[in-house]
Structure 1
Amino acid sequence: MNKILLIILAILLPPVAVFVKKGVGQDLIINIILCVLFFVPGVIHSLWVITR
């Protein structure tokens, strides 16, 4: 998938972007927990997963 689309998806729906990039796993669980606690850390984590 195009990286620009993944970055836009990471800003709007962080867990979906992590799922598309990595699938079901540790990164997805961490991102869901971060999004539930507070949205901004979830966005930062998803951007980090996508760009690394």
Structure 2
Amino acid sequence: MEYKSYMCVICGWIYEEEQGLPEEGIAPGTRWEDIPANFVCPECDAGKEDFEMIEI
């Protein structure tokens, strides 16, 4: 299954499933749907609902 990327529509920060976010305890390969609902953007604190899938 192909990895996807999601961008914060508030500040433009990008979460890439393949890379994860190890410094926040999210392992590489973690799918967006497996990230907790209370996740916030590390750049601007926007909620998970403020992200949209993008093509890189």
Q: Same fold (TM over 0.5)?
A: no
Calculate the TM-score normalised by the size of structure 2: 0.23
Q: Pick the structure with greater CA Rg.
A: 2
Structure with the bigger percentage of helix: 1
Name the structure where strand makes up a greater proportion of residues. 2
TM-score by length of 1: 0.23
